[in-house]
């Protein structure tokens, strides 16, 4: 396969993979492969650790093992096929959850590639970024500004785009109230995006110690669910137009439905394995909606990165070298606020 390469490449490289259901990450040696037509190879500079990476060992989704996880990836292009028309050697790029699409299914023919019936998923259907190098499908690649810190940019390709793109596609306009439930990896970005878009932002948490942080991120109001009834407190504001559920807690989320105003939306963004119990009457009386949102396209990701730079939004991260991939994975829910693997560290 004719290819263009930037530098001498190694015969093999190091990655960390899940080898069996329920197992831990294991160091593996991967043979170098040239990119096929429609692919590029990048040297990984940073890979965010997402809660969804858990699907590999848990098998909540059927993932073939062994598998290298990681779908929040930033790196530099080191090899392309001679047929590549868009991506150049040395270019700073990235990858998110969407790993590619078939272009021929009904959803692709409608131009809705994120719901492709044969969608490729980075770090699940194909090996991801817990590695020194990674192969990406060309149509799924995101251009990343070179003046962004790779470790801070990487989580924006999933956690960032999930909150940014979902909110900008909701039926909500400033100065409506937007509430953010949970102030973690998703939530700390959601607060900043909602504030920068001009909404009045209410931060919801059961940890009083996060009030100062929430307000520094742009929250206008802070409600401590351990001290007051969050639903009643939101109703006292007149109800909110959108509640962004960013923390996986089905019980806490379902209780917030009554806090929505007429035509309000409960926007579920966290992966929660437990079902929510919803009373149909609550939906009917105020024309409420419950929605999810599947991240975004590469162009959506580029819009997200541009918005982050324009508005000074900050992704807070903890950095781990590649040999500490398991420690980084273990911190996926408790890091302040996003664990990121930096292979060259």
Question: 45 near 90, Cβ under 8 Å?
Answer: no
Helical ranges in 272-324 per DSSP H: 280-286, 298-311
Q: Would strands 92-95 and 72-81 be described as parallel, antiparallel, or unpaired?
A: antiparallel
> Which residues are within 8 A (CB) of 253 and not within 5 positions of it... i.e. 6 or more apart?
181, 245, 266, 268, 272, 276
Using the Cα atoms of residue 332, residue 334, residue 340 and residue 344 in order, give the sign of their dihedral: negative
pTM confidence score: 0.93
Please give the structure tokens belonging to residue 296.
């975004």
Place of tokens 């170098």: 32
In 3D space, the residue among 79, 53, 37 whose CA is nearest the CA of residue 158 turns out to be 53
From the list 256, 284, 252, the residue with the least C-alpha distance to 179 is: 256
Q: Residue written as tokens 């900043």?
A: 192
Q: What is the C-alpha to C-alpha distance for residues 70 and 155, in angstroms, rounded to an integer?
A: 10
Strands 3-5 and 72-81, sheet pairing:
antiparallel
| 53 token code pair | 């990476």
Place of tokens 């807690």: 249
Which residue in this structure is represented by tokens 């690649």?
141
Q: At what angle do helices 159-168 and 187-196 cross, to 10 degrees?
A: 40
CA nearest neighbour of 119 among 263, 307, 304, 294? 294
Phi and psi based region of residue 8 (left: phi greater than 0; alpha: psi -120 to 50; beta: remaining): beta
User: Along the 345 residues of the chain, how does pLDDT read in single tens digits?
Assistant: 567 666 678 999 999 999 999 999 999 999 999 999 999 999 999 999 999 999 999 998 889 999 999 999 999 999 999 899 999 999 999 999 999 999 999 999 999 999 999 999 999 999 999 999 999 999 999 999 999 999 999 999 999 999 999 999 999 999 999 999 999 999 999 999 999 999 999 999 999 999 999 999 999 999 999 899 999 999 999 999 999 999 878 888 888 999 999 999 999 998 777 788 888 888 999 999 999 988 899 999 999 999 999 999 999 999 999 999 999 999 987 777 899 999 976
DSSP assignment, residue 77?
Answer: E
Residue 238: how many other CB atoms lie within 10 Å: 8
* Strand locations in the chain (E): 3-5, 12-18, 25-31, 39-48, 72-81, 92-95, 98-100, 120-121, 133-137, 142-143, 177-181, 200-205, 221-224, 240-245, 260-268, 289-292, 317-321, 338-342
Query: Domains (ranges, CATH) in the chain?
Result: 3-157+296-342 (3.90.180.10), 170-292 (3.40.50.720)
Structure tokens at 116: 């492709």
Helix (H, G, I), strand (E, B) or coil at 295: coil
Backbone angles phi, psi at 267, to 5 degrees: -100, 105
């Amino acid at each position: 396969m004719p290819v263009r390469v930037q530098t001498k490449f190694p015969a093999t490289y190091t990655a960390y993979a899940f080898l069996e259901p329920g197992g831990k990450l294991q160091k593996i040696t991967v043979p170098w492969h040239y990119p096929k037509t429609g692919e590029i190879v990048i040297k990984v500079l940073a890979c965010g650790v997402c809660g969804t990476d858990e699907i590999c060992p848990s098998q909540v989704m059927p993932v073939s093992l062994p598998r290298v996880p990681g779908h929040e990836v930033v790196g530099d292009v080191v090899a392309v096929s001679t047929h590549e028309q868009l991506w150049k050697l040395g270019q700073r790029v990235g990858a998110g959850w969407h790993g590619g699409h078939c272009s021929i299914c009904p959803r692709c023919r409608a131009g809705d590639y994120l719901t492709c019936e044969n969608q490729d998923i980075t770090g699940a259907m194909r090996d991801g970024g817990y590695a020194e190098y990674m192969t990406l499908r060309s149509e799924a690649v995101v251009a990343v500004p070179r003046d962004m810190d790779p470790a801070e940019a990487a989580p924006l390709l999933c956690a960032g785009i999930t909150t940014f793109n979902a909110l900008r596609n909701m039926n909500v306009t400033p100065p409506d109230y937007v509430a953010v439930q949970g102030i973690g990896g998703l939530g700390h970005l959601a607060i900043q995006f909602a504030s920068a878009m001009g909404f009045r932002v209410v931060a919801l948490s059961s940890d009083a110690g996060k009030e100062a942080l929430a307000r520094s991120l742009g929250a206008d109001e802070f409600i401590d669910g351990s001290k007051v009834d969050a639903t009643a407190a939101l109703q006292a504001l007149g109800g909110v137009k959108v509640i962004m559920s960013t923390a996986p807690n089905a019980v806490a989320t379902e209780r917030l439905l009554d806090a929505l105003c007429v035509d309000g939306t409960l926007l579920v963004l966290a992966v929660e394995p437990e079902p929510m119990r919803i009373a149909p009457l609550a939906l009917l009386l105020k024309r409420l909606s419950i929605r999810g949102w599947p991240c975004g396209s590469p162009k959506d990701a580029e819009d997200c990165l541009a918005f982050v730079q324009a508005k000074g939004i900050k992704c807070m991260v903890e950095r781990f070298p590649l040999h500490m991939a398991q420690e980084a994975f273990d911190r996926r829910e408790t890091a302040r606020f996003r664990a990121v693997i930096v292979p060259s560290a």
